[in-house]
Every structure is written in C-alpha cells, then in structure tokens.
Structure 1
C-alpha cells in the first residue's frame, strides 16, 4: 500500500530537483513534446513564465547528453553573473548591439570548452593549439562566463590560434591583448574542431533573470546575447556542425526588449512553454501530476487519468469542483500546483490521497508562497517600495473585488500611506502580471466573464470594468 510520502512531484527549483533526484528524468513530463521541439535545429529560444519548467527542461537535455558518449553538453548558469561587467567590453556598434561581440567571444569559449572535453580530438594540432591558448590565458579549461569576463577585461590575452602558427599579412585591426583581436581566429578554430567529428555539441544558457533589472545595460545585454546566439547557430548550420546554443528566458523579460529583429526570431526560432488557460479536469497540469505519481508508485502505472483523479483528489473543495479550486489559485504553472500538493504531502505524509480538509488547511501556506512568487516576478520591473505600497493598498482596502472609482476614492483619502505609487500605473502593472483581472456581465447573461493577462497575453486593463484580485493571493492579503 502506498502513501503520499511515496510520491515525488518535484521541487520548486528545477536545478534542485535534478540534484536531489538522480533519476529525475523518469519523472519528467514531456508536455506538448517540448523536448522534441527544442531539439529542432531552428528552435533555440525557449520562452516561458517563471515557474513553467524551463530549468527542468534544460536539466533533462543535460541528462540525455550524459547518457550519450558522443553528445557534449553544458548547462550554463548565469545566476551570479554581473551584467554591468560587460560595459567595458562593448564594441563600437550602435545600441542595442554593442555587446554582440563580447557575447560571441563568451559563447565561442564555452564551445571551445566542449571541444576540449572531446579527447578523441586531442590528436589534432588545432585541438592542441586551442588547449594551449585556453590554458595560457585562463589557466584552466573549466571555463565559465565570470572567469572569461574577468580575464578578458584585463586585455592581456596572448598567443595565437592560427592554423599554421601565424598568418602572414594579417591586418591588426585591434590592439594586441583585446579579445576583439582574437575573435575571428577563435571562431575559425572552434568551428574547425566542431566540424571534425559527428559528435553533438549543446550549450544551454539558464538563470539569466536572477540579476534582472529593467534598465538599458541589462536589456541591451540580453538583446545582444540573443543576436550572438542567432549568428553562431546559423554559422553552425551553414558549416554542417551538429551543434546548437539554446537560451532559456522568461517571457515577461523578452517582451520588454525593444529591437526590430526580435519578432522575427520569436516567430522562427522560439518555443513558448504554455500549460493552457482553461480550468478543466483534463488540464496538462494534472497530466504532469499523474505522470509523477505513476513513476513514484509502479503499481499505478496502468491506471487511467480518470481513475487517478478519483483515487487522489476529492470531487469538490468547499463545494467548488477540485480542478476549479486548485487551478484557480495558480498561474497555470507546474510550480504552483506542485508546491500546493507538496505542502499537503509534507503535513499528511501517511495519508493515501489529497483530502479536502488538507487543501483548506494548507491554503494559507500556499497563498504565502504564491504572494512571494508574484513579488519575485515583479522585482526588476518595479522597485520593491512600489510593490510593497501597491500590495499594501490592496490589502488595506480589503476587497476581493472592487470598482476603480471606489478604490481611487480610498487611495486619495489615504495617499500619505502610499506616497510613491501612481494608482493607474501600479494597477496596470498588477494587471499585466496577474495580481488583478477584470470581471463583467454581458447583457442578458447571468454569469460573470473574466479577463486575466496570465490566461490571455492580449488582455488589456479596462478601468471601467470591475476588478477582481487573484484568488491565490486573497488569503495572504487577508481578504
């Protein structure tokens, strides 16, 4: 007999999930065949809201590569990367392209690292020359972006990468020691090695949002990174190299980047992780849960999704259909569903199902988590002070649903408590990130209609309609 304690649903953090569970790939749910899609040569930009599964996808690709002797893969974390360090390394190109060259340099060195891991190439004079160049300048072949930037900033690079030990008549366009002086030769050398075998080479860039700030340096850096990746991936295709660089990026960050080329890249080269927007029992989020349940309890592997739903979930919670109660408190993200259920597993480990009273009892813990997730996602888009004042206003107004004119009247009377926010602007941002939505009735119809930006990315705030605060936040806001 199984208990909830036997079930592994995953962790809040994809990297931790991969670390804590060595066989995590057996629990991976390949939603919409996302793995197959990201393996296509032209798809290198993976977009998704925070918590939709970008990092675990990266870990899954890395695990696949570890089981293939001819697949060299590196999952590069940019969690601690300081984007302002790039300022001193930009080239003379116009904004926002001034960081393309330094990103190309970083990517090529990361690819060089993969080439040097392939000891089957060590016989090659080109491999030996690249190995010497990397060791002489970076003192290790275990490179990461921070080490590359640290050394590159010193402008003390030395050695040569020319195939024949020197290229007669080469024009020195840049000062010796600058990475720009070596960029063309590094590209030629790395591509030559990549093309020398049929091995696969994969770079994945993750956690680019950790130092996110809605400022010019960060945005231009990310635009330049995407363009550098596009350039290198196209070059690898042209040279028939079995390699690709993939970028994992939050959707909300991508949409604030302003560049005419990005829309073409989004259409041709991106995949968006989307878990649907309809509250229904056949939501893929339940399929994810059932996939993990079957992997955790082999005796259940032949059960249908209907049988599993009946086995593990109550029919209703507070007289609300369970799928509506649970999904209505989320942003339709795996992280939200898994977190809520893990709270129940932790407290009721010896139970055999997720009971109604457990959902009710753990709702406060979940709402606290959900509120913090929203704050984290807003961070970088808004100053923390504005987030705090805006959410305090919603809490102190103490209405789960309200009309703008009534909230504005309350705000004007209590403006001294919220001195830094502009009401229309903060509500617009809160709407864009799903804290609030619009609700209204259509003529002759008795039921309410809702507009939420997290369910429809074309939704636009309407100050003439009534507002509703997301149900997942209401307990934390004491509404």
Structure 2
C-alpha cells in the first residue's frame, strides 16, 4: 500500500498547457507529434477539440526544436483592420478579400523564414550585406537570374518596410490598396477616409465598377514579386530537408481581431500554408480547434476553400486508453516524487472487478484535459487518503460533471450559442430514450418566449426559428437538436439494434443527419450522468412514448 498521502491542495496539472507546470516533464509523444515534426509529411494543421493537447504539442516543439518562430496572433496587433474604412466598404460591396489576406500571410511567413535562415536580428537585415548574400546565392542560376534579381530589388525597395512589424506592414499595404483604388475610380482619398457614405458610392453602376477594380488591384498587388521571392527561397535557400525550420501558430480561437475578419484571416492562412510546402525542410504548423475549423469552412465554401483538397494537411488529434493512462501515471509520479502511480491510486476495485481508472476514463471524451480535470476533483475530495476509494470518486463526480457541461457549452458557443437553455429536456431522462419519448411540452418555453432567439447561433438558431415559424414540425426540429447534441458530444446515437452506440469523438461510427430516426436510441455521455441526473437503466419499449 502506498504511503504517499493525498492533500486537498495537490493537482496533477492545469486545464491549459500555458499554465500547466507538468506539460513538458509529463509530455506523452503520440503519433501526431511525429507527423507534424516531419517536414516531408504534409500534415501541418493540428486539429482537435478543446483540451486535446494541441497547445502542449506546440509548446513541446518550441522547447525542443532548433529553428522555431512563434507567431502569436494577439501580438500581431491587427485589430485596426476592423476599423479600416476601405476594407469595410469592400466588404459591403462583396469584394473577395481572400487574396488580400493571403498576401499578408505570405509576407509574414517569408520575412520570418528569411530571418531564421540568415540567423540575424531585425536591424542587420536592413544592411546591404543581407541582399548581397541573396544575390550571391541566385547568381548561380543563370537561366532565371534576371527574374530573381527583380525579386531581390523588390525587397531592397521595400527594405525599410519589408522587415517591419506585421501591424506596420499591413497598414502600409492597406494604404497602398486605398491609394490605387481612389485613383482607379477617380475619387478623392478623403472620401474613402470618411467611409464612402455618399449615396453615389452605393449606386449599382459605381458598385459594379468599384468591385471589379478593387479585386483587380488586390490581385496585382505584390503577388508576382512574392511568388518570385518564394521561388528564390525554394531553389537557392530552402532546398534540402537536413536543416529544419518551423513556424508555429496557436491561440487562433482568442479574440485577436474582430470575428468576421478573424475567420477570413484563418481561411487565407490555411490556403497559404500549402504554397510553402514546396520549401524543403520548412513547415508552418497551426493549431486549430475543431469547432472553429467548421465555422471557417462554412464561411469560405464559396471562396475556394475545399475540405477534400486540404484534408492531407490535417493531423486529427486522438488519444487512446494507454496514452491517457501513461499521461496520468507520469503526472502522479511527478506529484509524489515517484512514490505514487496509477496502479496504487486506483487500488480499490469497483463492482464487477473493474478498476476505478476505467470508470474515470469512461467519463471523459478521451482528452487530456478531461482526465486531468477529473483527477483534480478526485484529489480535492481525497482527505489525506493513500488511494482513490470508490466513495471519493463518487463525491468528485458531480462537480466534475458540471465542469464538463460548462466546458462543452463554452467550446461550442461560437457555433450554437447557449446550449444550456436547450438541454433541460435531458434532465432526469432514461438512457436509451427515443424521439417519441420526448414531449413537445419540454420545449414550450423556447417556443413561446421570444427572448430565446437571442441565445442561439448557427444551425441551432435556424432550427429554433424554423420550428417557431411553422416551417418544420416538432419531430423535424427534435431531430436537428439531437444531431447537434451528438455533434457536440453530449449524446451518443444507436442507429438500430445491431449497431453500437456512437459518440462523435470516437469516430468509430460516424452518424449522419439521416440516421436520427424513430428507430434510433439516444444515450447521454457518461461524463454528464451526474449533471443531468440520468437514469442509466435503458428505457423499456413500453416507456418510449410519454403519456
């Protein structure tokens, strides 16, 4: 029996990698790490749900690899884009700004890669020696020398601006677009600064001309020069896999710029990282939350962003039982200075000769954050015990279950809004319920009260509005609700008697909207049993239809 005693103040880590003191010492190398670090491998986008270990991998890369540039979105100071009168006007007349944002990212990535390659500071880049070194590199390519020389001259022309901070670079680029646009449509630049509020700037013929000219100006702004610079980098600088260079970007889900622009910038970035795959030894790695990725694609479906084409870039984060067990084992050993581990912590067996760790794991979404959170709740209830008794685990479950639900609501708020207002119908329900067992009365408040329309977003808001407007009946509305709750992870779906219950996170059986039928049974995820006070006994056939 372990002698180590568990104090209430102990923890096995923090919910987020930024503040988690154990994140590097207890790091577990899952398969995603190898494919992300491999510069020959296309996988560049770490895709996962909240708490799946994306930031931990980014932190590991920053601390273990030689040439790593970290781009922090908040530090880029791009909030001024939200107040740009010319960009607001372009948006209002539906100008495709995707190329504008792509040029910005290309410029940022080129600058950071060249700075790493020559291993110099910002000031020394402005010196002539830098350009001389590039010219020396390209002089060997007689066939393409003149074109490459033009690209170097472009960098020299911009030498004071080319290496400057992103915020200044973007402002300079925006002002250049603004000036060219004003000249092309023969208007005073002051009119643009005043927001183009005059009615003549809104009439159909002017808008048609303005849109075409704006898109033409953006298309021709620095694009050719940047392509030539990338070509120099490809043939003369980054031309072998021996020396590795990484650009890593995390925290894209934070409020670093106004929402609609943020989605445009992320969509453009995803498109741009493909173009840098031609540079050997180079990898641009971005960390992206699954729900944010969905919103980006929904917004950019009409702008050329296609899932199928970009699929090879995604590294989908997933964990198995062994990896999560190793994660907790390492953390318990660090906490106890090697006096305590998973085997000793879950010494007591549960009913059916099952281990407590299996019980805990079943109540997670197989993500590090879930299991770390549950362990912290358990330790808080341990009262100087030497191991986690079944009673301690049971006492910890209600607070953990509440935390999980709140975390799910926060995670999917951008997609669906306040799901807590929708989920009351699940409280006190039986597992294995079906569509017929859910009465319309349980949604009466949502149907009758107008205030609820402001609580929801996206597909959920549309489903509520369609039902309230009698565009769909209650049964159709309920199917949409169930599918959304399945997508979030709250509900698992059993398509029929011969099928297993499928939860979205497991990816073993993917459920389509058409699978939500009268033959389906629905099961609440075990992590939420306590929160919803679920009767875990399957609902009997006679109980399916409520009286």
TM-score clears 0.5:
yes
Quote the Cα distance in structure 2 between the aligned partners of 1:84 and 1:124: 32
User: Please, which moves more after superposition, 205-214 or 246-255?
Assistant: 205-214
For residues 324-353 of structure 1, the C-alpha deviation after alignment (integer angstroms, 9 at most, x for no partner) is: 421222111110001111223345474433
Select 2:109's aligned residue among 97, 104, 107: 107
| Cα 1:209–1:299 shift into 2, 3 Å | closer
For residues 162-201 of structure 1, the C-alpha deviation after alignment (integer angstroms, 9 at most, x for no partner) is: xxxxxxxxxxx969x9665863465467668854997532
Quote the Cα distance in structure 1 between the aligned partners of 2:260 and 2:245: 32
Residue 73 of structure 1 corresponds to which residue in structure 2? 68
Quote the Cα distance in structure 1 between the aligned partners of 2:423 and 2:87: 38
| Cα 1:430–1:226 shift into 2, 3 Å | same
What are the within-5 Å matches in structure 2 for residues 20-419 of structure 1? 20=21, 24-32=23-31, 34-41=32-39, 42=41, 43-65=43-65, 71-78=66-73, 85=82, 88=87, 99-115=101-117, 117-118=119-120, 124-125=130-131, 136-137=160-161, 143=165, 148-150=169-171, 152-155=173-176, 183-184=226-227, 187=230, 194-195=237-238, 199-211=243-255, 219-234=263-278, 236-237=279-280, 242-255=281-294, 257=297, 258=301, 261-267=306-312, 269-276=313-320, 282-297=321-336, 299=338, 308-316=341-349, 321-348=355-382, 350-384=384-418, 387-395=419-427, 398-401=428-431, 402-411=433-442, 413-414=444-445, 415-416=447-448
| Cα 1:285–1:196 shift into 2, 3 Å | closer
**Contact 1:314 1:354 (8 Å CA) reproduced:** yes
Residue 68 of structure 1 corresponds to which residue in structure 2? none
- Once the two structures are TM-superposed, the CA of residue 377 in structure 1 deviates from its matched residue by 1.8
Quote the Cα distance in structure 2 between the aligned partners of 1:350 and 1:133: 69
**Contact 1:202 1:244 (8 Å CA) reproduced:** yes
Decide which structure has the larger Cα Rg and report it: 2
List alignment gaps of at least 5 residues for structure 1.
66-70, 158-172, 277-281
- Once the two structures are TM-superposed, the CA of residue 156 in structure 1 deviates from its matched residue by 9.5
Quote the Cα distance in structure 1 between the aligned partners of 2:155 and 2:5: 53
- Once the two structures are TM-superposed, the CA of residue 207 in structure 1 deviates from its matched residue by 1.7
**Contact 1:97 1:223 (8 Å CA) reproduced:** no
**Contact 1:367 1:475 (8 Å CA) reproduced:** yes
List alignment gaps of at least 5 residues for structure 2.
135-151, 179-215, 454-463, 468-476, 535-547
Residue 459 of structure 1 corresponds to which residue in structure 2? 511
| Cα 1:283–1:135 shift into 2, 3 Å | same
**Contact 2:6 2:386 (8 Å CA) reproduced:** yes
Quote the Cα distance in structure 2 between the aligned partners of 1:373 and 1:46: 20
TM-score by structure 2 length? 0.65
Quote the Cα distance in structure 2 between the aligned partners of 1:213 and 1:371: 28
**Counterpart of 2:483 in 1: which secondary structure?**
helix
TM-score by structure 1 length? 0.73
Residue 427 of structure 1 corresponds to which residue in structure 2? 482
For residues 380-404 of structure 1, the C-alpha deviation after alignment (integer angstroms, 9 at most, x for no partner) is: 11133xx242124434xx3243332
Quote the Cα distance in structure 2 between the aligned partners of 1:202 and 1:27: 23
Aligned residues: 425
**Contact 2:249 2:285 (8 Å CA) reproduced:** yes
- Once the two structures are TM-superposed, the CA of residue 454 in structure 1 deviates from its matched residue by 1.8
Quote the Cα distance in structure 2 between the aligned partners of 1:325 and 1:417: 40
For residues 125-164 of structure 1, the C-alpha deviation after alignment (integer angstroms, 9 at most, x for no partner) is: 45799999888338x86x4x5565455434399xxxxxxx
**Counterpart of 2:531 in 1: which secondary structure?**
coil
The structure with the largest helix share of the pair is: 2
| Cα 1:412–1:227 shift into 2, 3 Å | closer
Quote the Cα distance in structure 1 between the aligned partners of 2:10 and 2:444: 52
**Contact 1:205 1:246 (8 Å CA) reproduced:** yes
**Contact 1:45 1:248 (8 Å CA) reproduced:** yes
Residue 206 of structure 2 corresponds to which residue in structure 1? none
**Contact 1:49 1:251 (8 Å CA) reproduced:** yes
